[in-house]
Amino acid sequence: MKIGYSFWGFLGNGITDTPDGGRSHRRPLIDALLGRGHEIVFLQANRDLIEAGDDLGNAYTFHSGSPDIDVLFLEWRWAIEGRNTTACGTEGHTCDLHRQAELVTRYTVRRKTPTVIWDKDRELRPDRMWRRVRQTAICEAALQPNPGAHRLLFPVDDRLLAEADPIALAEKPRDLVLGYVGNQYDRDEHFDHFFAPAAAHFDHLVGGKWTKTSRWPHVRFLGRLPFEAVHAVYDRSLATVLMLPERYAAVGQMTQRIFEAVLAGCLPLAPADILHADRFVPNELIVSSSSEVVERLAHLQRIAGTQQHADLIAACLDRLDLFRLSRQVDVLEAVLDAAASRVAVERGAV
């Protein structure tokens, strides 16, 4: 089918000054859909070209108008004051929300085009009408999505899982005990409780946009890093902490940070308040307090480079099967087909 795909971010490395975490998984998902015979046209601005000067080898199609499509697929955008709620042309304005409204009005409302909304940031409230409209389907990246929503997790490429070697990763020298790359957004509670106390005891680094850090003067914040530098931090780090906003932790929504870390051999410690934490990491890596984080990190230092270390990495890699790209594409194709079939029935086509 021909999919009109709306996302606000990048397919390539993009630019440093952006919070777009979707670069870890968006392009593999799109390439897999293309590989299965679908046609994709992107309906938001080509930020790779406009902002990063990257033409992506002219491998993808962007359209600023309203092309004919079979289904609309939206990475859901929401109102961000001072950014996409301002008038077009205003300094600092981004037009993602305006364009999304235009697309939903034109396709979903007027043309009754089958529409799939991927609420990756848990910003689509349970009472929103889009959860009740027959031509729409909602996907969420959580183990326990809202009633009526489909589970579509952030995907990790099957090839990367197949190529990962736990023994080689365990033997790699690491000069940092603790590393993290990600932005501050709603993560202060986990950071306060798990990461910051451990950072007082071990060599560490934190990359990403952290603007309110005065209460953690001992923590080494690097600021935002280029996307291609993310792997380098985890490649140096023995372990990380999977810090989530409460709205993610409560439903078992894990971000791409887990596979960015594990594929580099960086062991993820998971706070016990994350729903289904044992599905993301082995029990030995689940922590309930700052003292447990310190104890686990000291233990990991002792076993670094051993078979026990390699076995822990292997256990973490096994759990990434949950996010396997081929599995997520199967889910998305089923949702797309079901949405299209419902609309076809209503139109009397079948």
The whole-angstrom separation of Cα 260 and Cα 341 is: 36
- Residue 178 burial by Cβ neighbours in a 10 Å radius (0-12, 13-18, 19+): buried
pLDDT given for residue 203 in this prediction: 97
pLDDT given for residue 19 in this prediction: 65
pLDDT digits (tens, 9 = 90+) for 77-86: 998 888 899 9
The whole-angstrom separation of Cα 308 and Cα 215 is: 36
pLDDT given for residue 346 in this prediction: 75
Strands 221-223 and 176-181: unpaired
Entry pTM: 0.94
pLDDT given for residue 92 in this prediction: 87
pLDDT given for residue 214 in this prediction: 95
Residue 339: helix, strand or coil by DSSP?
Answer: helix
pLDDT given for residue 15 in this prediction: 86
pLDDT given for residue 347 in this prediction: 76
Give the domains, in start order, of the chain with CATH numbers: 2-155+324-346 (3.40.50), 159-323 (3.40.50.2000)
**Nearest C-alpha neighbor of 115 from the set 281, 252, 4, 226:** 4
Q: H-type helices in the chain, by residue range?
A: 26-35, 47-52, 96-103, 158-163, 166-171, 188-190, 196-199, 230-236, 246-249, 257-262, 277-280, 290-303, 307-319, 325-346
Paired residues of 137 in beta bridges: 116
Terminal C-alpha separation, the chain: 17
Query: Would you give per-residue pLDDT tens digits along the chain (350 residues)?
Result: 999 999 999 999 998 866 677 888 999 999 999 999 999 999 999 999 999 999 999 999 999 999 999 999 999 999 888 889 999 988 889 999 999 999 999 999 999 999 999 999 999 999 999 999 889 999 999 999 999 999 999 999 999 999 999 999 999 999 999 999 999 989 999 999 999 999 999 999 999 999 999 999 999 999 999 888 999 999 999 999 999 999 999 999 999 999 999 999 999 999 999 999 999 999 999 999 999 999 999 999 999 999 999 999 999 999 999 999 999 999 999 999 999 888 888 777 54
> What are the structure tokens assigned to 71, written together?
């289904």
Per DSSP (E only), the strands in 182-259 are: 204-207, 221-223, 237-241
pLDDT given for residue 342 in this prediction: 84
